[in-house]
Structure 1
């Protein structure tokens, strides 16, 4: 029987790491291919790595059909659920898969007519979807993760370089560390990854230290603005809550704003210097 490889489906689930691929190859050589490859018609939808290894070493394998799908998106959703059910999938990959599921479902619902949406809402009220992915809460439940972890994975997907993504996917660093490093410019992310696990952890620690608010007078106000906290310092907010400000208060506000901007710039420069030094 002819087996067709759909490149989009093959690449939809992240490839195995080198270690994982070699472990699978050893297992197949020793025990054979015990699980059947799953086909949709002639298209392979589950078992791409096993198929490649079996072809390479002429290992016999079985196939089975799943003809319940109406579209490639249906297949993708099935692939996601299939991988989420596997215990070997890492926390990071579980989060990525759940977010991909949300993207497919969201796109589908945007394309539906108002009549279809009404019918779907009525059905959902009668039979709630146990794996809904409407909100971050739902995504966290589907992935088996906390909401903060999902937020960090979203940040990594949006801002991390391929090198940093590979580091967290391979388990070199934690999701938390990768999310912190992803706030750096791309070249600094690459340099940190090149330095290895200790370099990444140290860079993340340094970033967290410069972002920690200070607990004293004007420093607290400056840190809040420099680190993305309140848009104005505590002193500014307090003064704005009153109906009028004295000239002295106005002058103090402007001085604090100026110091905030200066501190923010110094923090950015210091962070860049620390990363550059560690990368040498």
Structure 2
């Protein structure tokens, strides 16, 4: 049987670590390839590591077909759900996969809205209705992690240097610490990664301390003299924190803009559906 390796699909899911790959290889050498490889036609869509190990050691394997896909995006969505169902996937990988799923679905909805159709008119194949996974809570539910972790992963995805992203994947640094280090310039991130775990932890600590220092109490308007004399502590009780450093504020603004865009897309979709229903009636 001819098996085609699609490089885009193979690179779509994060590779195993050296330890994980070695453990899988030992298992296959001892017990054989117990799980069948999954093919879409001749394209391998699940079992790339097992296939490589079996080829290297001339170990027989089984294959099964999954032909329920219309295009490559269907395959990618299936791969994401397939990996999210596995317990061995880290929280960071889960968050990244859920964000990729959001991106694919958002692009599909946008394309459907632009085309004004929900099906393939040439082949009469119904395109499944897809719901936008836009809110941070939705993404967290898909990934099986907290919404705060999703926020931190979004920060890493947006601003982290490649070296820092790899450090999170390897487990050298936690998601929360990496989100803090990601606010530094790329060259400082790379230098922290090169310094190892302790250097990364120290960099994250310094960033957090800097943010806390910049959250100084804001000045409040003075009370009348008589009230000041009677309640000298009121000024302290009514004090408010100043705005955090500009990078944190910008990230919040971007998050709100993204949520606003998501609401606009939902409203557009609902209006399109209502117009279609009215035209039918």
* Matched-pair contact (CA < 8 Å) for 1:38–1:63: yes
DSSP 3-state at the match of 1:44: strand
Partner of residue 189, structure 2: 189
Q: Residues of 2 paired with 1:151 and 1:66: CA distance?
A: 34
The offset of 1:147, in angstroms, is 1.2
DSSP 3-state at the match of 1:52: helix
Partner of residue 118, structure 2: 116
The offset of 1:182, in angstroms, is 0.6
- Seen in structure 2, the aligned counterparts of structure 1 residues 78 and 216 have a Cα distance that, compared at 3 Å, is closer
Partner of residue 171, structure 1: 171
* Matched-pair contact (CA < 8 Å) for 1:156–1:165: yes
Show the 5 A alignment for 1:1-280.
1-112=1-112, 113-116=115-118, 133-212=133-212, 213-215=215-217, 224=243, 226=245
* Matched-pair contact (CA < 8 Å) for 1:192–1:200: yes
Q: Residues of 2 paired with 1:146 and 1:64: CA distance?
A: 35
Consecutive aligned runs of 4 or more in structure 1 exceeding 3 Å deviation: 214-218, 220-231
DSSP 3-state at the match of 2:11: helix
Compare the two structures and name the one with the higher helix fraction. 1
CA deviation vs aligned residue, 1:193-223 (integer Å, no higher than 9, x gap): 01111111111011100110234859x9996
* Matched-pair contact (CA < 8 Å) for 1:40–1:66: yes
Aligned length: 220
CA deviation vs aligned residue, 1:54-91 (integer Å, no higher than 9, x gap): 11111111100001111000000000000000000000
Q: What TM-score do you get using the length of structure 1 for normalisation? A: 0.73
DSSP 3-state at the match of 2:172: coil
Structure 2 gaps of 5+ residues are 120-127, 221-238, 251-281
Q: What is the aligned-residue RMSD (CA, Å)?
A: 2.4
* Matched-pair contact (CA < 8 Å) for 1:211–1:227: no
Q: Residues of 1 paired with 2:42 and 2:248: CA distance?
A: 55
DSSP 3-state at the match of 2:243: helix
* Matched-pair contact (CA < 8 Å) for 2:218–2:241: no
Q: Residues of 1 paired with 2:94 and 2:241: CA distance?
A: 38
The offset of 1:29, in angstroms, is 1.1
Q: What TM-score do you get using the length of structure 2 for normalisation? A: 0.73
Q: Residues of 1 paired with 2:164 and 2:66: CA distance?
A: 36
The offset of 1:134, in angstroms, is 2.6
